[in-house]
Amino acid sequence: MRFLLFVGASNTLAESEIETQISGAIPHQPNVFLLESKSVLLVTELVSRLGCSIKLARELAGVSPELQSIADLIQVKNFSLTSLDDFKSSSILNQEIKNIREKGRFILPKDQFGLSPILIKKHRIDEFFIDQKAETVWQTVWVHDFEHWIKKDRHLPFANAKAGILPPKIARSMVNLVPVEPKGKLLLDPFCGSGRVLVEAAELGYTIAGTDIIQKQVEETKANLSFLGFDAQVEVLDATHLSNKFHDVDAIVTEPFLGKPNLRPDQIKYLVPGLEKLYLGCLKDWLRVLNPGGYIVMVFPVFDTGKHIYKTSSVIDGKLELSYNLLKRDILYSRPNAEVRREIVILQKKH
């Protein structure tokens, strides 16, 4: 069976996450991926683990894109049809289907991605997509659990979406950039903050641990994990001395300290050397923490002063290349109107 996976338009990690977690998935159109699976159950279990996934539609093999055929498939009062190859025709097509059925109500899509998961769940809508040129029909069979994602973003004991911390879906995507099966593996976040990365890793099945140099952050992480029913070793510890307490770690996933916010452009050049020294110290120490073949998924800030671009990931170019394999870099993410862009880099400790 073939499926269309719709991903969040703001999640720039989507392509890398899908490439890591779903074999054979290919881009179909912007923010839509085509994949194959033997069963709906298997593929929904797979995509539900992704941070980028929004909804999934299954190809209805043998169903023609004729409107009568689609009208016959509608099981509930509300329906929606989106044309993938001619979006502007969607409103006319929905009206024609209603005329055929002589009952029901259609909800018009705002764009070629169809309806939001909230609408689909709230109003019990049968949603379809057609590609008239390819003569294919698709029906939505799964949407992400938006209520759970909102809970993790806004309703944990310590959750402040305006504090510059990673959104849960981005944190999940980062964890999924580690190309291992989570069960039985230890994942550590040395700059755990309020525990965003650790929450996502725990939900995926990792054994988790974390550190932060600030006691308050450690307490917040413990409270957030406990609220969701998870437990972990979380310590107050300098990330450059991780090896004092941790060994045999399979993966490190982290967004480190990115520098003080709201700096003037002329102050950036004085900030960058200090950050690079911090990151270099961490990466050297973590060699004693990681198992051979262990992974690091790490954020490095990118500063653009208008006259100069500072990429702090340059610290990995040099002697560290003798100890780490550089698997991927230049995965860029930034919040809207953010002062600093985040470059995500994937490293593997050499055997």
User: Which letter, b or e, does each residue of 134-147 get, where b requires 16 or more Cβ atoms within 10 Å of its Cβ?
Assistant: eebbbbbebbbeee
In the CATH hierarchy, which top-level class contains the domain 2-143?
alpha beta
> Considering only CA atoms, which of 64, 55, 77 is closest in space to residue 126?
77
| Residues, the chain | 351
Task: Give the start-to-end residue ranges of the domains of the chain.
Answer: 2-143, 155-349
Q: How far is the C-alpha of 322 from the C-alpha of 316, rounded, in Å?
A: 10
Q: What is the pLDDT of residue 189?
A: 98
Q: Which residues contact 161 (CB under 8 A, 6 or more apart)?
A: 153, 154, 167
Q: For 155-349, which CATH superfamily applies? A: Vaccinia Virus protein VP39 (3.40.50.150)
What was the pLDDT predicted at 10? 86
Instruction: Say yes or no: do domains 2-143 and 155-349 share a fold.
Output: no
Mean pLDDT by 10 residues, the chain (351 residues): 95 96 94 96 97 98 94 96 96 96 94 95 96 95 96 89 77 98 98 96 98 96 97 97 98 96 90 96 98 98 92 92 95 80 97 89
What mean pLDDT is reported for the chain? Answer: 95
What pLDDT is recorded for position 165? 78
Closest to 168 in 3D by CA, of 188, 194, 205: 194
pLDDT confidence of residue 163 = 57
Integer Cα distance of 116 and 128 in angstroms? 13
Amino acid making up residue 3: F
Q: What's the chain's Rg over C-alpha atoms?
A: 23
Distance, CA of 12 to CA of 216 (rounded, Å)? 31
pLDDT the model gives residue 319:
86
pLDDT at position 19: 97
Predicted pLDDT at 71: 96
pLDDT at 334: 83
pLDDT in tens, 17-67: 999 999 999 999 999 999 999 999 999 999 999 999 999 999 999 999 999
